[in-house]
Amino acid sequence: MQNMVLSNSGHLRDDVAAKMGMWLFLFTELLLFGGLFLVYTIYRILNPEAFLLASLELNVIMGTVNTIVLLTSSLTVAMSITAMQKGNIRLSLILLYLTILAAVIFLVNKYFEWNAKIDHGVFPGMDHYNTLEPGEKLFFFLYYFMTGLHALHVIIGAVFIGFVVAFIRKQKITPGRYMLLENSGLYWHLVDIIWIFLFPLFYLIH
């Protein structure tokens, strides 16, 4: 009995440490993107007309679809945690699979969106890009850098959730201990929040 109490106490300390570690990591990520948002804001103030013209080249429909996809995926990962808390492991897994599917849809959509721009030469270093006004160049440079960095976070988040799925199937994550699942949900919500800021900054200037 005493060993069981000590074991539970150890698990509790590990879970608290894991949660604190995740929050600290998320804070550093917010600092990173916060700095990028600040850089974007400064350049937008300095080049309002150029940023407006450049934003008209982006596909608002594709951006909107990706926004809906990510918002839906945040819902599925949150529901997965609730399902695990209630002991419904099968439903939790299904919802995590749907979250990963949403990540894939987002990335495929982003691939086609980027590919369309590259086909038109709107990419740093390409001939058409070099003919743009300096402010428009800045807009597209920031667009590719910031959305590309966000896409990398989507990939990392999907891989993270994939490991969580594997741990659930191996019964290393259970209704009695699901901190890793919660941490993956926190990370995924961060990915969603960042996109909620990126979408209006780049697509809805007009």
Task: Please name the fold of domain 25-203.
Answer: Four Helix Bundle (Hemerythrin (Met), subunit A) (1.20.120)
Q: Write down the domain spans for the chain.
A: 25-203
Q: Which pLDDT belongs to residue 34?
A: 95
Assessment of whether the complete model's pTM goes beyond 0.85: yes
Phi/psi of residue 88, nearest 5 degrees:
-95, 80
Contacts of 12-16 spanning 24+ positions with Cβ under 8 A: 14/179, 15/177, 15/179
Which residues, 6 or more positions from 3, have their beta carbon under 8 angstroms from its beta carbon? none
Taking 70 as the pLDDT cut, the residues of the chain under it are 1-15
Alpha helices per DSSP H over 47-133: 48-55, 60-85, 89-119, 127-130
Q: Which pLDDT belongs to residue 2?
A: 42
Q: d(Cα 93, Cα 101) in Å, to the nearest integer?
A: 12
- Please write the tens of the pLDDT for every residue from 119-151: 999 999 898 899 999 999 999 999 999 999 999
Q: Which pLDDT belongs to residue 11?
A: 58
Instruction: Decide if 76 contacts 97 (C-beta within 8 A).
Output: no
Residues in the chain: 206
Q: Which pLDDT belongs to residue 205?
A: 83
What is the SS3 assignment for 46?
A: helix
Q: Which pLDDT belongs to residue 5?
A: 40
Residue among 84, 195, 92 at smallest CA distance from 149: 195
Q: Which pLDDT belongs to residue 78?
A: 96
Q: Which pLDDT belongs to residue 22?
A: 86
